[in-house]
Amino acid sequence: MSFFQVVERYEQVIATDVSEEQLKHAMPHPRIRYHHTPLSISEEELVTLIGRENSVDLVTVAQAVHWFDLPKFYSIVTRILRKPGGIIAVWCYKSFAVSPEFDPVMKQFYDTTLPYWKRNVQYLTDDYKELPFPFESFGLGFEGQPLELDMPKEVSFEGFLRMLRSFSAVNTAVEQGVDLLSEKVVKELETAWGGSELVRTIIYKTFMLVGKVKA
């Protein structure tokens, strides 16, 4: 779900990121407020920035919560969520399916990234089954048993390649002088994809946890 799908259902959306560079690419919308929230920001500062305690209907985190300082994040969520009724939803994908021709080539590439993932990615590797999630469930995944979903999306090869280049493991490898997406690898992926002009439907193998503050 994108910010623009969320804003269709809520009067105001507040989007945050620790990276100022990422926020430079954010698309403007009159009901979306973007804020830079560096790692140094305090809990009090963040609560004040978002609004106030007991004021937020929904907190969502896509493909990122495993990087967070979880005790600090969950404390903030508990404070800002509206009670009763406020919801937190976190989700992530570890793999995706494209086609019988492409998937084995993609797995071969993914295996080369494994030495460069940071320790936090273990939660992702375990499909969030080991991710602490101290919130009350209401049937859409809970601590120890995430909800599994297939999320389809149409993607061009260039768009898919941009996603691969955004992998933290790929960028860590570059910092260490290793190019995991060399010209040869990109060509192998492109051939298996069916050509650079082809738009394909990717099925993201997604897992989700949804909850509310415990009474």
Residue 80's pLDDT is: 95
Structure tokens at 203: 């099925």
Give tens-digit pLDDT for 107-162. 999 999 989 988 777 788 788 999 999 999 988 888 999 999 999 999 999 999 99
Among 123, 116, 109, 29, residue whose Cα is nearest residue 68: 123
Please say whether the beta carbons of 211 and 136 come within 8 A. Answer: yes
SS3 144: coil
CA 163 to chain centre: 12
Q: Please state the pTM of the whole predicted model.
A: 0.82
Is the sign of the CA dihedral 116, 118, 121, 123 positive or negative? positive
What are the distances in angstroms from CA 11 to CA 85, 86, 159, 166, 208? 16, 15, 30, 31, 24
Please say whether the beta carbons of 207 and 127 come within 8 A. Answer: yes
